[in-house]
Amino acid sequence: MLQELKTDTYKELGCFHGVRAGIAYHKALGATTNTLVIELPEERNILSTRTGLGKAKYILNTHIPPELWDFMHDNSADWQTAYSVVLEEVLQRYDTDLDNVSFLSTGVDQDNIAWAEETYEEFWVLAFATAGVKTNAMRIGCDEASGIERNGKFEKIGTINVILLTGSSLETPTLASSYITLTEAKNVALQELDIRSAVHPDWQATGTGTDQIITVSGTGGKYTYVGGHTKLGEMMARATTRAVKQAIRNCRGY
């Protein structure tokens, strides 16, 4: 359906191993915003920090501009309704609904998206990342929390989003273990760029308070372990580190 979108409302990023990616520009409650849309050739198994384990054909990363922050905060206990409103135009364009997509959100404009690909023989991985670290970078467990959740509603929230796709088939335990690899790789990016805690600049940051991940399984040969000792794990880490570093540079200008 990407070819049906007007050029002023969609920017093609590319087609990678049958996976099409682009940025959809749209309105949400009158605010101008945009969303990364990754269109898969078919539904694939995914694991998301927001929507959990499931299947999806579309993977989204949507920008929540300042004009929508109060709305999102006030409706944080009913996030499905909130995101149905924010993503309404995008869902209509692709003739789908929130139950059939996997999505993340961020305060970062999607024009700052970065991506990196790694290939080796028949294996490939592709990482997309957005990264806002100026005000909410933190050293987890050392910096005090800035928010608290009660009954599903956040009283205050303070992102680095990574979407990782691979051609290999990953079952549920492997999807889960990929989070270790991706988190470690994100930390390498923060170390190499010397990103510091926004509260305690003497401390090396390990992330932000709202980092999120989606890992998308492929349909190729089965891969059961993606730690650092395996080639696919190495590729996941390299792509994630490269994408996160570039995403930080895109937002911070270095």
Q: What is the pLDDT of residues 13-63, one digit of tens each?
A: 999 999 999 999 999 999 999 999 999 999 999 999 999 999 999 999 999
Reference 182, options 80, 49, 1; nearest CA is 49
Tokens found for residue 196? 């510091």
Residues contacting residue 221 through CB under 8 Å, at least 6 positions apart: 122, 168, 169
Mean pLDDT over the full length of the chain: 88
Average pLDDT score over residue span 192-218 = 90
- The residues facing 63 across adjacent strands are 106
Query: How many angstroms separate the CA atoms of 181 and 240, rounded?
Result: 9
Contact (CB, 8 A) for 96 and 125: no
- The residues facing 15 across adjacent strands are 20
At the top level of CATH, the class of 2-252 is alpha beta
- pLDDT at position 136, please? 66
Local confidence band at 174 (pLDDT 50, 70, 90 cut-offs): very high
Delimit the domains of the chain by residue range: 2-252
Query: How many angstroms separate the CA atoms of 129 and 189, rounded?
Result: 12
Local confidence band at 81 (pLDDT 50, 70, 90 cut-offs): confident
The total of other beta-carbon atoms located within 10 Å of residue 179's CB is: 16
Contact (CB, 8 A) for 62 and 80: no
Reference 160, options 134, 120, 131, 186; nearest CA is 131
Tokens found for residue 202? 């003497």
For residue 77, the SS3 value is: helix
- pLDDT at position 143, please? 46
- pLDDT at position 8, please? 65
Contact (CB, 8 A) for 161 and 129: yes
CA gyration radius, the chain: 17
Local confidence band at 84 (pLDDT 50, 70, 90 cut-offs): very high
Residues contacting residue 117 through CB under 8 Å, at least 6 positions apart: 16, 124, 125, 126, 127, 239
Distance between terminal CA atoms of the chain?
Answer: 36
pLDDT at 10 over 80: yes
**Treating both helix axes as pointing N-terminal to C-terminal, what angle do 172-192 and 231-252 enclose, rounded to 10 degrees?**
50
How many helical (H) and strand (E) elements, i.e. helices and strands, does the chain have? 5, 13
> Which residue is associated with the tokens 């294996």?
123
